[in-house]
Chains A and B, each alone.
Chain A
């Protein structure tokens, strides 16, 4: 169990950091740079909502795959192909 844990997390830290920073930038920092027009409120709302939605969606996708309970079932032809082509 611990093996799977560490293996799972090692491949996880980099994407998590990258994407959290990305959405944080979009949601938080860019909001400061929106010019002070009449649309400032709308633009900020759009940015923050979009950051929340998109990051939530990505997080769900990655957390559901962290620890798979079963593996993919492949046709044997596919297995031959993948064995030779994929690292």
Chain B
């Protein structure tokens, strides 16, 4: 089987990296994204690791780059979207980059000069030699309190005049443009002058010297004006230069950013390695898929070649008892569905992967709950649009979380929409109306022709029921789906409920049986054949004898009973309950000999429970304490004693793969007795048995949500039709056609909001639950951990998400 059905085989490998070429080799490995590094220095803190200074340097560069990026964004220079993938630079190139960056940072300091304000002078009458003046500018919000404070403190011995400036100037503290207010305080007396100065300080005014003669004032104003002109020119020039510098920087800033990030990642990885005894060689331990070992060798050779090292680096596979990570290779289509499975739990190493089956069963179960042709069409078109424009970069990089979620699941939505089209056709439900493609199987005319109905009947009654017993009324089942006449009938729900409930039960039992069968593949792969006889067969017997028989009864009743003997048709549910209670069915039997068959099935299923409960622990106990396999076990025992360290480890690996999660096999290097905790295994098996048996019943009932949700969906769309669009179409006054437009708009909005979004999410959630709980707990453990390789691509994609 291909690698998608089961996770790939992984091996632990040791890389011996030459000290000089370590950087290049790791860079090559990062480009390919093949291996996952393990931390060989777990006891060392971040500050004690070997490459701390390099990491610090990288982080400083990152900070400078971040600041540059901010400045570029502030200046509104457009950044080029770059898909460039530059290689991590060598340390000597790094210095050059650092110098460049520091140059750029310096020029940033220039434009933060604050401007001198214009000074406006007011014509003030001079009243006395002791008159003093204080002039300044103040923030406009503070003018009121300032004035009040002056009045209270100086008790009216000051006069405050103020005027707003015409042009807004930048406030150096807050950076905003504010219209400053220029004020002039005139006062009598020295002490009041001191008080006024203190108040001005409090309110953070900029105070300026106010000359006493008119001539001086004019001179000062002229001087200030020229100064302002000069400053304007200087500022203008500086801003131009800043723009130039930033534009040049914006071209290469992305490249720099990526390069610095890659460097940081490489040093982080190098920190994880350990030095060997001679201090010339770095040793790294990696998890690597077995199929990729030749590629790793190639990458190491490439790295050695680039750094022109004399001694090549090489990779060596080592045996291990640790559980390897799980790797499942997915493409853009399968990754969505695999994420659904992984969200429940990443599979154990080499466990059967429910992913490929989920690609079909998940949209199918969704569609059973959502089945409407019209809504499915809208959903498919929407998903198709997303899929066709998936290469549009604007769609890929939006910040909107909700849109990103929908966009990432575009293939899932497409599959769900396509399956909904199909189930909508079968349910014969298109925006709550049925399509009559093949001609209905029910004929009303025949009721007249057979003289069952006469015109008088029709006139005097409100409802009449067609009788399939009359010849010609029922002419055969509708070839594809539900007959369209049921859409017009008032007892539609009686028929549909029965149909959908039975359909849910059949689909559910099929799904669960499939799950149990998938467990067989696990048993076969991990070479535990005894599981097949002691676990799988009792489970299947239990399920089939009870619920498989239920399915049989459903199908039998469909085929054996017709309208002619419909009064005799028994209720299946009552028969099923009676079967459990072992009560005889006095009145009707579904088929002759039913009682005997039912008793037989119940006995078998009851017998399979103790087999399930005691079989596996008993067998393991017997095997451990000597049995038929004693000979081979002994041989394995002596091998452990005689063999080398490598063989011991290999044997341990083999046993680890076989050993299940319940048993504690703690084997020591000197080949001591293996511990066998019978109590633990038995407890685990008891829990499994109870869970399985009770779960069979409750999970079957749980699948009835397929019926419930599809009923809710159908009813909602019927309400929307009846209450909204039908009203709009029925209006027969003059302006009725105009009112149809808003009515349709309302209908469309509610359809999308309630039926597509809300019902869609609800059906999605329930389909998810059915998969995670009812299907996967029959065979899936999901306690592994995911393989996360050291890959620059993943790194950059993650950091872009945060940028």
Is A34 an interface residue, CB under 8 A from the partner?
A: no
Partner of A80, one of B458, B492, B507: B458
Contact A71 B465 (CB under 8 A): yes
Cα A61 to Cα B486 with chains together (Å): 13
**In the assembled complex, which residues on chain B have CB atoms less than 8 Å from the CB atom of A54?**
364, 422
From known contacts A11-B475, A42-B2, infer whether A70 and B356 are also in contact, taking CB-CB under 8 Å.
Answer: no
Contact B490 A63 (CB under 8 A): no
Contact A4 B562 (CB under 8 A): yes
Is B559 an interface residue, CB under 8 A from the partner?
A: yes
Contact B360 A67 (CB under 8 A): no
**In the assembled complex, which residues on chain B have CB atoms less than 8 Å from the CB atom of A33?**
none
Partner of B426, one of A8, A57, A86: A57
Binds A, one of B434-442, B581-589, B783-791: B434-442
Contact A42 B359 (CB under 8 A): yes
Partner of A86, one of B4, B445, B474, B510: B445
Contact A63 B334 (CB under 8 A): no
**In the assembled complex, which residues on chain B have CB atoms less than 8 Å from the CB atom of A76?**
458-459, 461-464
Contact A67 B480 (CB under 8 A): no
Cα A7 to Cα B566 with chains together (Å): 17
Nearest chain B CB to A61 CB, angstrom units:
5
From known contacts A62-B477, A69-B563, infer whether A86 and B443 are also in contact, taking CB-CB under 8 Å.
Answer: yes
> From A71, which residue of chain B is reached at the shortest CB distance?
B466
Nearest chain B CB to A31 CB, angstrom units:
14
Give the interface centre of A5, A67, A82 by most chain B CB atoms within 10 Å: A67
Digit string of A22-54 for contact with B (CB within 8 Å is 1, else 0)?
000000000000000011111001100110011
Is B80 an interface residue, CB under 8 A from the partner?
A: no
**In the assembled complex, which residues on chain B have CB atoms less than 8 Å from the CB atom of A57?**
364, 368, 422-423, 426, 503, 507
From known contacts A71-B467, A76-B462, A78-B488, infer whether A65 and B566 are also in contact, taking CB-CB under 8 Å.
Answer: no
Contact A73 B489 (CB under 8 A): yes
Cα A79 to Cα B489 with chains together (Å): 10
Q: Is the interface of A mostly helix, strand, loop or mixed?
A: helix
**In the assembled complex, which residues on chain B have CB atoms less than 8 Å from the CB atom of A46?**
356, 359-360
Contact A63 B558 (CB under 8 A): yes
> From A65, which residue of chain B is reached at the shortest CB distance?
B477
Contact A69 B490 (CB under 8 A): no
Cα A87 to Cα B446 with chains together (Å): 10
Nearest chain B CB to A16 CB, angstrom units:
9
**In the assembled complex, which residues on chain B have CB atoms less than 8 Å from the CB atom of A68?**
468, 474, 495, 562-563
Cα A76 to Cα B453 with chains together (Å): 11
Nearest chain A CB to B468 CB, angstrom units:
5
Contact B476 A11 (CB under 8 A): yes
Cα A7 to Cα B564 with chains together (Å): 13
Interface residues of B in 1-15 (CB under 8 A from A): 1-2, 4-5
Nearest chain B CB to A54 CB, angstrom units:
6
Nearest chain A CB to B730 CB, angstrom units:
14
Cα A61 to Cα B21 with chains together (Å): 68
From known contacts A60-B502, A72-B486, A74-B489, infer whether A53 and B1 are also in contact, taking CB-CB under 8 Å.
Answer: no
Is A66 an interface residue, CB under 8 A from the partner?
A: yes
From known contacts A40-B2, A80-B458, infer whether A71 and B448 are also in contact, taking CB-CB under 8 Å.
Answer: no
Give the interface centre of B461, B466, B492 by most chain A CB atoms within 10 Å: B466
**In the assembled complex, which residues on chain A have CB atoms less than 8 Å from the CB atom of B580?**
none
Is B607 an interface residue, CB under 8 A from the partner?
A: no
Contact A69 B561 (CB under 8 A): yes
**In the assembled complex, which residues on chain B have CB atoms less than 8 Å from the CB atom of A65?**
441, 477-478, 482-483, 499
> From A5, which residue of chain B is reached at the shortest CB distance?
B562
Contact B357 A56 (CB under 8 A): no
Contact B462 A75 (CB under 8 A): yes
Cα A49 to Cα B358 with chains together (Å): 9
From known contacts A42-B359, A57-B368, A72-B489, infer whether A67 and B445 are also in contact, taking CB-CB under 8 Å.
Answer: no
Cα A5 to Cα B442 with chains together (Å): 16
**In the assembled complex, which residues on chain B have CB atoms less than 8 Å from the CB atom of A69?**
561-563, 566, 569
Contact A66 B558 (CB under 8 A): yes
Cα A86 to Cα B445 with chains together (Å): 8
Contact B485 A41 (CB under 8 A): no
Cα A32 to Cα B420 with chains together (Å): 27
Contact A4 B466 (CB under 8 A): no
Give the interface centre of A38, A41, A53 by most chain B CB atoms within 10 Å: A53
**In the assembled complex, which residues on chain A have CB atoms less than 8 Å from the CB atom of B439?**
87
Cα A42 to Cα B334 with chains together (Å): 9
Cα A12 to Cα B480 with chains together (Å): 11
**In the assembled complex, which residues on chain B have CB atoms less than 8 Å from the CB atom of A5?**
562
From known contacts A64-B499, A72-B491, infer whether A58 and B468 are also in contact, taking CB-CB under 8 Å.
Answer: no
Can you spell out 7 A-B residue pairs with CB atoms less than 8 angstroms apart? A42-B356, A64-B498, A71-B467, A72-B465, A73-B463, A73-B465, A80-B458
Q: Which 5 A-B pairs have the closest CB atoms?
A: A11-B476, A72-B489, A41-B2, A71-B466, A67-B562
Which residues on A are within 8 Å of B, measured CB to CB? 1, 3-5, 7-8, 10-12, 14-15, 19, 38-42, 45-46, 49-50, 53-54, 56-58, 60-76, 78-80, 82-83, 86-87
Query: A4-B563, A74-B444 provided; 8 other pairs, C-beta below 8 A?
Result: A53-B364, A57-B368, A57-B503, A64-B498, A64-B503, A71-B468, A72-B495, A76-B463
